[in-house]
A and B are shown apart, each in its own frame.
Chain A
Amino acid sequence: MTEFVGKQKVFQSWVREKLFLGMNLKAYLKNLIKPFNIVAGIIVLVGLPFIVMRYAQGLGAVTHASQDQPWSLFLSWGLFTGVPLAATGYIMASAVYIFGQKQYHPMVRPAVLTGFIGYFFAVMFLLVDLGRPWRLPYPMISSFGTASVLFLVAWHVALYLSTQFVEFCPAVFEWLGANRFRRWAIAVTVGATIFGVILSTLHQSALGALFLLAPGKLHPLWYSEFIPLFFFVSSIFAGLSMIIAESTLTSRFLKHRYSPGYLARLPDLTLGLGKAASFVLFTYFGLKIVGLAHGHQWDLLSTTYGRWFLVELLGFVLLPSFLFAWGVRSRSVGLVRFTAFFTILGIAVNRLNVSLFALNWKLPHRVFFYWKEFIVVIAIITIEILVYRWIVNRLPVYREHPGYRESEFEESFQTSKAIL
Chain B
Amino acid sequence: MKISRRRFFKIAAAAGGAGILGKSKPARGVEQFTGWPDRFGVLTDLTRCVGCRSCEAACNEINKLPQPKVPFEDRSVLEKERRASAEYYTYVNRYADPKNKGQWVYRKAQCNHCDEPACASACLVKALTKTPEGPVIWNEKVCIGCRYCMTACPFYVPAYEYSNAFSPNLVKCTMCYDTRTSKGGIPACVEACPMEAMTFGKRKDLIKVARKRIMDRPDKYTDHIYGEHEVGGTCWLYISGVPFEEVGLPTDVGTKPYPEFTRGFLSMVPAVLVVWPALLGGFYMFTKNREQETEEEEVIPEEKEEWS
Are A and B interaction partners?
yes
User: Using a CB–CB distance below 8 Å, which chain A residues touch chain B?
Assistant: 55-61, 63, 65, 67-68, 70-71, 94, 97-100, 130-133, 135-136, 138-139, 142-155, 159, 183, 187-188, 190-192, 194-195, 197-199, 201-202, 205-206, 209-210, 212-217, 225, 228, 359, 413, 415-420
B130 to chain A, nearest CB (A): 11
Q: CB of B261 within 8 A of chain A?
A: yes
Contact between A71 and B288 (Cβ–Cβ < 8 Å)?
A: no
Q: CB of B307 within 8 A of chain A?
A: no
Contact between A99 and B287 (Cβ–Cβ < 8 Å)?
A: yes
Chain A residue at smallest Cβ distance from B261: A212
A139-B124, A213-B151, A418-B3 are known; give 4 further A-B pairs, CB within 8 A. Answer: A143-B126, A145-B127, A150-B148, A415-B1
Once bound together, how far apart are the Cα atoms of A57 and B162, in whole Å? 9
Q: List 14 A-B contacts (CB under 8 A).
A: A65-B147, A67-B156, A70-B160, A130-B145, A143-B125, A148-B121, A151-B22, A152-B269, A159-B19, A195-B19, A202-B273, A212-B265, A416-B284, A420-B288
Contact between A216 and B126 (Cβ–Cβ < 8 Å)?
A: no
> Which of these, A70, A97, A192, A198, contacts B273 with CB under 8 Å?
A198
Once bound together, how far apart are the Cα atoms of A58 and B97, in whole Å? 41
The 4 closest A-B pairs by CB, nearest first: A131-B145, A147-B29, A100-B287, A60-B162
Most buried by A among B27, B121, B146, B158: B146
Contact between A146 and B162 (Cβ–Cβ < 8 Å)?
A: no
Q: Which residues of A have CB within 8 Å of B285?
A: 420
Q: Which residues of A have CB within 8 Å of B142?
A: 135, 138, 142-143
* Total contacting residues, chain B, CB less than 8 A: 82
Contact between B22 and A144 (Cβ–Cβ < 8 Å)?
A: yes
Q: CB of B216 within 8 A of chain A?
A: no
- Known A214-B151, A418-B3; judge A190-B126 contact (CB<8 A): no
Q: Which residues of A have CB within 8 Å of B118?
A: 213
Contact between A209 and B262 (Cβ–Cβ < 8 Å)?
A: yes
> Which of these, A70, A97, A183, contacts B147 with CB under 8 Å?
A70
- Known A148-B148, A194-B281, A214-B152; judge A58-B168 contact (CB<8 A): yes
Q: CB of B299 within 8 A of chain A?
A: no
A92 to chain B, nearest CB (A): 14
Q: CB of B70 within 8 A of chain A?
A: no
> Which of these, A98, A147, A187, A198, contacts B1 with CB under 8 Å?
A187
User: Using a CB–CB distance below 8 Å, which chain B residues touch chain A?
Assistant: 1-5, 8, 11-12, 15-16, 18-19, 22-23, 25-30, 83-86, 118, 120-127, 142-148, 150-152, 154, 156, 158-165, 167-168, 250, 252-254, 258-259, 261-262, 264-266, 268-269, 272-273, 276-277, 280-281, 283-285, 287-288, 290-292
Contact between B163 and A416 (Cβ–Cβ < 8 Å)?
A: no
Contact between A67 and B145 (Cβ–Cβ < 8 Å)?
A: no
B148 to chain A, nearest CB (A): 5
> Which of these, A56, A194, A215, contacts B284 with CB under 8 Å?
A194
Contact between B29 and A146 (Cβ–Cβ < 8 Å)?
A: yes
Q: Which residues of A have CB within 8 Å of B12?
A: 191, 194
Contact between B15 and A195 (Cβ–Cβ < 8 Å)?
A: yes
Q: Which residues of B have CB within 8 Å of A199?
A: 19
Chain A residue at smallest Cβ distance from B285: A420
A121 to chain B, nearest CB (A): 18
Q: Which residues of B have CB within 8 Å of A132?
A: 143-145, 167-168
Contact between B22 and A146 (Cβ–Cβ < 8 Å)?
A: yes
- Known A67-B150, A217-B151; judge A98-B124 contact (CB<8 A): no
Q: Which residues of B have CB within 8 Å of A63?
A: 162
Contact between B165 and A99 (Cβ–Cβ < 8 Å)?
A: no
Contact between A55 and B165 (Cβ–Cβ < 8 Å)?
A: yes
B153 to chain A, nearest CB (A): 9
Once bound together, how far apart are the Cα atoms of A172 and B114, in whole Å? 52
B292 to chain A, nearest CB (A): 7
Contact between B125 and A131 (Cβ–Cβ < 8 Å)?
A: no
Once bound together, how far apart are the Cα atoms of A139 and B146, in whole Å? 11
Contact between B261 and A213 (Cβ–Cβ < 8 Å)?
A: yes
Chain B residue at smallest Cβ distance from A64: B162
Contact between B8 and A417 (Cβ–Cβ < 8 Å)?
A: no
Q: Which residues of A have CB within 8 Å of B1?
A: 183, 187, 415
Q: Which residues of B have CB within 8 Å of A144?
A: 22, 125-126
Chain A residue at smallest Cβ distance from B139: A143
Once bound together, how far apart are the Cα atoms of A212 and B263, in whole Å? 10
> Which of these, A135, A151, A202, contacts B145 with CB under 8 Å?
A135
